[in-house]
Structure 1
Amino acid sequence: MLTGLWGVAGTPAFAAPSTGAMPLVQAQQLGAPAPVNSTTRLNPILIPKAYGAPFLFSVTVELDAASNLSGQVAELWLNGENVGQTPLIYIGSGRFSGILATSQVPNAGEYSAVARFPGFEATTPTTAGALPSESSPYRFTVAPLASTTAVTAAPTAEHAFATVDVAASVFVPGYTPTGSASLMLDDTEIATAALEAATDPSAGSRVDFVGVRLPAHGETLWVRYQGSADGNMAPSDSVRTPIHIDPLDTSVDVRLDPSQIRADDTTDLHITVTNETLGSSQDPVGSVEVLIDGAVAVTMAQAQDVDPESGNGVSRYSVPLGGSELGLGTHDVTVQFLPEPGFTESSSEPVSLTVQGIPTWITSDVAVVAGTPAHPARVLVRASVDPAAGPASAAKGALRAAPEEVTASSGSAAAGYVQAFVAGEPLGDPVWLAEGAADVELRGLAEGRHDVEIRFTPTEDPNALKSSMSITAEITADAAPKPGPKPEPKPGPAPDPGPEQPGQPAQPSLAQTGAPGGHPWFALGAASVLLAASVLFAGSRRLSRHPRA
């Protein structure tokens, strides 16, 4: 708005603002003529198009009856504010006029100008007063001064996240630009700085952007002058200068701790992503993918850097890997770094991870069992899972421990079945474990000494290993049954032999022979019994001749 305004007579342009309503003319003195009507017009003479030029108005007040306005004033109001006044002089035909001019130029902006005549009271009985009036509004615009911005120093190639210095100048003819400017990368503001007046006013003002960190990518650098704070100097943009921003090179190293585990254990995969670009200490940012045998097994989106030191060009991540999820065998582990913008993608060399099965043990409290064909040998066995997990178990290098090293309480009870084998052939049917134990019957073994292998097959955990143990079975002959007392024949009537035939001997009675019908095999059996009894009697007599020592 106006910062200075004087009338033709040199009165100050900025009087105190009006309280709002047009003041009314006081009541005329007794006997004075009635006040006359007035009409006020505002006539533009010089209207500025842009900041820096003055403006000039003429004000005319016309009366509809005779009165004298000489020495009275007319006021100029801009945007509702009284900004000055001018005295009126008579120019003929009942009209009075004054000139309003500026001593300071108006700021840039939109304006609505109105001329007001406040009226006056009659002071003598012969002179009438005048009623107040105001002109129609006159609207005009003062534009800001055009500015020119140019980049004077800027890089043309850098790597992502580098710090750069950029310089620019802002020029407004005839003035020293003030305010601030923004450094732009493509259409993104990356820094702001205040203008500094140059030593030579004709050179405009300078702006320096120092130590500005570049984003991950971009193609053009340029400077935008924001314009002066008072709005009198217009914003302007410099020409865009090309810049090439290279992403930062990265590399990935991995380490397994440990590299050999049981299926029921885990290992930690330690990942180190390094910024390989010289002169840059920016920590790599992105996600990682863990590939097992070429297939993605684990993805860490926007992985969290666990490196205790920041700004050292290194990011560290840790991923646990469970053996049960991988399966038994040796696996190739590779890590891919999937970067955020500003970094290159990279992959590690493969490392080997060996997953071993879970050892099981089968034990018994005895090493030798005995039996007979009629009463088979039996053995109580117990199966359990080796409780020692981790690298220590792998260091053993064996699936079974010696019996003296393993007891029934060494590990948790296993689920599955056992089967006895002799010379590689199964003996009997499989026996299922109940709470980790089974009673195995070794039926079908012939007399003699046998090496029996009892094999355990786990069924619930596919990663559990089979195990076996060996025992000795000694099979002896069943004892002969002891002879009992011979039953006495019951007496009864002898059968009638019938009439004797001439030339045939009579049949002996059953009581005599015990063989009905006198069959020859019955006589042979009786003779055998008698022979055995005589041998036993003779032997006892020989023993009686040699008393015990």
Structure 2
Amino acid sequence: MSKFDLDSRIAPARRRAGAEPQSTHRRGPRAVVSALGLFAAATLVISGVGLASAHPAQAAPRVHTVPDVATPAGSPSGPQAGRGEDALAGQADEAPATALEDVQPARLADAPVTMQDGQATDEEPTQSVDPQTASAADPQAAPAADAPAAADAPTPADAPAAAADAPAAFRAAAPQATPAVAAVEDFATTTTFAALTRPTQYGDVLFALASVALDGPANLSGQPIVLEANGVVVAESVLIYTGGGTFSTLIPFVHQFPAGTHSLVARFGGMPNSDPTQPGAAPSASIPFELIIAQIPTTTKITSAPASTRAFSGVDVTAQVTATPGGYDGNAVLLADGSPIMYADLAADGSVRFEDAVVPFGTTELTVAYLGDTAGNYAVSTSAVSPFAVDDVATTTELALSATELRADEEVTFTATVTSDSPVTMTATADSQSAGTGAGSSGAVEFLVDGEALESGAAPIDLDPATGVGAASATLVAGELLLGDHEVTARFVPEPGLRTSASEAAQLRVLGVETTLTVADAELAGTPSKPATVEVTASTVPTQPSAAAVQSRAAGSAAAGSAAAPAAGVDGYVQAFVDDEPLGEPFAVAAGQGAGTLAGLPVGSHEVELRLTPAAQSLLPSATTVSVRVTADARPDVLPDGDTDGGSGDDATPGDGATPRGATPQAPAALSTTGGSGPAALLLGGIALLAGAAGVLFAARRRARH
């Protein structure tokens, strides 16, 4: 049957339907409900009729493969041959409908529609009825001659049920087996999205429509369609036929989006057909639609804040956050010169309170920033600046020394006590700033001797949060200082918020370390050719602990005075003196041990002074004496014939000038007043010989006279 216009066919029926009086009773809510029900029913009918009009019956479904089925005997020939149940379905479709809701799209496509008493019926067919095939129970059934025309229309899904109402002749001719039919392809669909409103800020509402266009005849009325935002379904509706082969949302999409960027897609999930021989509608989705929703602006204002405070003292600050519409939550932060120092949650009315907040020293302004709500729909805002000042806390420093006079090899402890004017609570940060409520370093103490800081550096100090008192100490070996008197002071170098302070100068006297020099042998002997050698030991003089230290140890506490220093070897050199004149070269002493030769002494006995000069400036020099007897080197030994043995006189080897082996050495003659020995005896012997010779000559002359 040829294509016809939907509006021209339905309009007379709607006029006839509307012309009938609905009720003779008084109109009211029930009449409105009845009218809405009639409108919904008419809408569904219009959707079905429009679908058939947009897609005529001659548009055959796309079937992949339909196997041939043998035609049983008595089956219709010609156009009816091989069609089996399709022919029956086509004949069944010719039966007139009895109610408006029973009208099928396939029937509307081939039969005119008339309205009788509010119901739609098919017009009488113009073909003649075959009396041999017409059923007495169904005199209005379509003749068999119209079967080819009915077969041209799409077969409804309920074809088997329609075949049951067909004339008996056709039921007898129906095949006994259902042929195997391959599934057909669904009609392609195209989904489009159209926004009726375009919200720009949180709180605005989106109204949008969606439509689905078909490439073939199918009734999508009542089928669901959804709206997705970023892949999540946010709204749903159903489709209704709107003409031209297009189905649109019966109710617009309505949704309120949170702040942010959203990608909107209208998605039709498709409509499968329960009859595999009939195509359904394929799913489709619209092109993504980008929607940007801005946050609601907010305003933050400080309602209460002090102008100044003392360092390390807590303050209270309140603020108010406003926005339209209300109903926001979230938290705010208190900022000191832009750095956060405390967070707090908003109350239901948008107010926020920061209690006992410790503001860092040096802060010049306070601000409060609202950080937005938990859903992210309200924007961040910051209050105006509130001027602020923090006053520092004064401190005092006192110094105590474990000893005021000590040797250079003893230790002394410096102890500094720092007290603040009020209790403070410190917390250390990455940049050594102090703020907040945690415990941290209050600063450091420098110990200075004669105005110069110790090389050990400053000692950290922590002030007690309850009392504001702290102590720091440093230990020094006095040998690091020069011998003599010194002034020691302690200076407190605080963290921000505390004021610096210094102690009074304390006097410290450093004494040199006494040393002692001893010899291994106090009496030495030697000759001019073999001088004596002296061995010495040099060490420090040990000290005894002070009375205060002894009392402290007895009480079981730490030593209050300098500790006793044990004896230790001394490095340096020793110089020998005779009558305050240096004798020879000095000799070295290492680790307290040394040895030297006392050369250059004449024959005789001598008192030699040995003077120690330590290498360390903190050690004092010391001295000792030693007795040295120097004898003359032994003369060469004389043989009985007056000759020497030619030796050196150093041994008893014959021929080397020494006393022969086994000979008894002769004791030297007594020294003369001049100190001679052998040569004087020879001289006296010569004189005696001369005197004897003179006597002999004198006697000879007297005899010559007589």
Q: TM-score, length-normalised on structure 2?
A: 0.51
Equivalent of 2:221 in 67, 70, 77: 70
Q: Deviation digits for residues 386-420 of structure 1, max 9, x if unmatched?
A: 21166579xxxxxxxxxxxxxxxx95566554666
Equivalent of 2:460 in 304, 317, 334: 304
Matches within 5 A, 1:414-493: 416-417=573-574, 435=593, 456-467=611-622
Q: Please tell me whether Structure 1 or Structure 2 has the larger radius of gyration of its CA atoms.
A: 2
Whether the aligned pair in 2 keeps the contact of 1:54 and 1:101 (CA below 8 Å) is no
Matches within 5 A, 1:153-192: 153-192=304-343
Whether the aligned pair in 2 keeps the contact of 1:261 and 1:391 (CA below 8 Å) is no
Look up the equivalent residue of 2:616 and give its one-letter code.
D
- How far does residue 150 in structure 1 lie from its aligned partner after superposition? 1.4
Q: Deviation digits for residues 116-163 of structure 1, max 9, x if unmatched?
A: 3334356899x9854443322211122222221112222221233332
- How far does residue 355 in structure 1 lie from its aligned partner after superposition? 0.5
Matches within 5 A, 1:96-175: 96-101=247-252, 105-120=256-271, 130-175=281-326
Equivalent of 2:477 in 314, 318, 322: 322
- How far does residue 235 in structure 1 lie from its aligned partner after superposition? 1.7
Aligned length: 436
Structure 1 portions without partners, runs of 5+: 1-8, 10-24, 199-204, 368-378, 394-409, 447-451, 473-477, 498-505, 511-549
Provide the residue aligned with 2:446 in structure 1.
Answer: 289
Equivalent of 2:212 in 46, 56, 61: 61
Look up the equivalent residue of 1:214 and give its one-letter code.
V
Distance 2:254 2:364 in 1: 49
Relative to its length, the structure with more strand (as a share) is: 1
Provide the residue aligned with 2:81 in structure 1.
Answer: none
Secondary structure at 2:290's aligned position in 1? strand
Look up the equivalent residue of 1:62 and give its one-letter code.
A
Whether the aligned pair in 2 keeps the contact of 1:260 and 1:391 (CA below 8 Å) is no
Whether the aligned pair in 2 keeps the contact of 1:260 and 1:356 (CA below 8 Å) is yes
Secondary structure at 1:47's aligned position in 2? coil
Provide the residue aligned with 1:252 in structure 2.
Answer: 397
Q: Deviation digits for residues 92-113 of structure 1, max 9, x if unmatched?
A: 3333322555666322222222
Matches within 5 A, 1:22-101: 32=154, 36-64=187-215, 67-101=218-252
Distance 2:695 2:608 in 1: 69
Look up the equivalent residue of 2:400 and give its one-letter code.
R
Look up the equivalent residue of 1:154 and give its one-letter code.
A
Matches within 5 A, 1:160-239: 160-198=311-349, 205-239=350-384
Distance 1:294 1:177, change over 3 A: same
Secondary structure at 2:470's aligned position in 1? strand
Distance 1:249 1:93, change over 3 A: same
Distance 1:349 1:103, change over 3 A: same
Look up the equivalent residue of 1:332 and give its one-letter code.
E
Aligned-residue CA RMSD in angstroms?
5.1
Distance 2:521 2:218 in 1: 144
Secondary structure at 1:239's aligned position in 2? coil
Distance 1:457 1:132, change over 3 A: closer
Secondary structure at 2:203's aligned position in 1? coil
- How far does residue 83 in structure 1 lie from its aligned partner after superposition? 3.0
Distance 1:460 1:294, change over 3 A: same
Distance 2:520 2:227 in 1: 120
Provide the residue aligned with 1:355 in structure 2.
Answer: 510
Distance 1:470 1:134 in 2: 118
Residues 1:331 and 2:331 are matched in the alignment: no
Distance 2:597 2:322 in 1: 103
Whether the aligned pair in 2 keeps the contact of 1:171 and 1:177 (CA below 8 Å) is no
Look up the equivalent residue of 1:135 and give its one-letter code.
S
- How far does residue 220 in structure 1 lie from its aligned partner after superposition? 2.0
Whether the aligned pair in 1 keeps the contact of 2:517 and 2:612 (CA below 8 Å) is no
Equivalent of 2:424 in 277, 280, 287: 280
Relative to its length, the structure with more helix (as a share) is: 2
Structure 2 portions without partners, runs of 5+: 1-39, 41-60, 65-84, 90-153, 156-183, 427-439, 523-533, 549-565, 628-670, 702-706
Look up the equivalent residue of 1:235 and give its one-letter code.
V
Secondary structure at 2:480's aligned position in 1? helix
Secondary structure at 1:197's aligned position in 2? coil
Greater relative contact order, per chain length (Cα 8 Å cut-off, separation 6+): 1
- How far does residue 487 in structure 1 lie from its aligned partner after superposition? 7.4
